[in-house]
Amino acid sequence: MRLPSLFLCASALCAGTLFAQDFSDLRVEKFSGGYTFTEGPVWAKEGYLVWSDVPNNRIWKAIPGDKPAIFREPSNRTNGNDYDGKGNFYHCEGGAHRVTKTDRKGAVTVVAGSYQGKRFNAPNDIIVRKDGHVYFTDPAFGASQEEGRQLDFFGIYHVTPKGEVELVAKPKGRPNGIALSPNGKVLYVDNSDERNVYAYDLDGKGVASNERVLVSGIKGVPDGMAVDEKGNLYVTADAVEVYSPEGKHLHTIELPEIPRNVAFGDPDLQTLFVTAYTSVYRIRMNVKGSVQY
């Protein structure tokens, strides 16, 4: 069954080329709709897109051109998702206060279930580096604020390939979206309360250092992020805001709904998929996305 297509010109687009990137003819297309709050998009190497519908407790899957199907239900209010190079599927299960991994045979294991004996607030977004180091954010939004917290801070965490859970930072505001530079040496985390993006240097052992604010004054509430092959950062807030690796604002991509998360996909990795409340949108780009697998 062919999906309906709705083409909408992005209203805030302007011509210009920065870092050999042209934003002058981007079109926003509706990929799928009818959801409550979409999040956590990720492209699988097998050729399909996966995303979460958090309040409805589902994860969806769709091959472009086909009708979406339920991938997992219930999902424990999964928000962020990611894949590693071995095809393992990682989930931030906010409702279960944990991060899990599903292998190619469907076996589920807990990657991170607690920190110093206390359960997490509600793991939100996740990124897995090529060498197996896992990073995720643990804020508290919505239902997780009402369930009673055991940790008195919001955290950014690192899980080593050996399964050791380490605290990267305890920001004052709530950390949300998370991403890596193409070479895996810089970790990006945006903060929904502070309206900014932090950057951290990562060494070969996955240890973070040199915390700094890369982007500040973001309009709206920063949420999910993605990175392209040139290292440019795509941050969802009131719109999708594009920044250079140095934090310079490059462009604003407007959508019909407030975007909540973003990921590159399609076989050529040149489509930007955006989850935005009731719908998932797609935008063809002239640059490839950066993926860690």
- For Cα atoms 75, 76, 79, give the angle at the middle one, nearest 5 degrees: 75
What end-to-end distance do the CA atoms of the chain give, in Å? Answer: 30
Which residues, other chains included, contact 116 with Cβ-Cβ below 8 Å and sequence gap of 6+? none
Give percent of the chain above pLDDT 90: 88
Domain boundaries, the chain: 7-284
pLDDT digits (tens, 9 = 90+) for 168-217: 999 999 999 999 999 999 999 999 999 999 999 999 999 999 999 999 99
CA distances from 180 to 31, 67, 96, 220 (A): 26, 31, 26, 22
Which amino acid type is present at position 129? R
CA dist 89 and 60 (Å) reads: 13
The CATH number of domain 7-284, selected from 2.40.110.10, 1.10.600.10, 3.30.200.20, 2.120.10.30: 2.120.10.30
3-state secondary structure of 46: coil
Backbone angles phi, psi at 106, to 5 degrees: 95, 0
CA dist 271 and 239 (Å) reads: 17
Residue 221 CB neighbour total at 10 angstroms:
18
Backbone angles phi, psi at 272, to 5 degrees: -95, 115
How much is the average pLDDT of 234-241? 98
Confidence of residue 11 (pLDDT cuts 50, 70, 90): very low
Which of 164, 177, 168, 78 shows the shortest CA–CA distance to 127?
Answer: 177
Which of 209, 210, 242 shows the shortest CA–CA distance to 225?
Answer: 242
CA dist 174 and 164 (Å) reads: 23
Which amino acid type is present at position 141? F
pLDDT digits (tens, 9 = 90+) for 203-214: 999 999 999 999
- Predicted TM-score (pTM) of the model is 0.92
Structure confidence at residue 143 (pLDDT) = 63
Lowest mean pLDDT among 3-12, 165-174, 219-228, 235-244: 3-12
Which of 185, 197, 184 shows the shortest CA–CA distance to 225?
Answer: 197
Which residues, other chains included, contact 193 with Cβ-Cβ below 8 Å and sequence gap of 6+? 172, 173, 174
The owner of tokens 């599927």 is 89
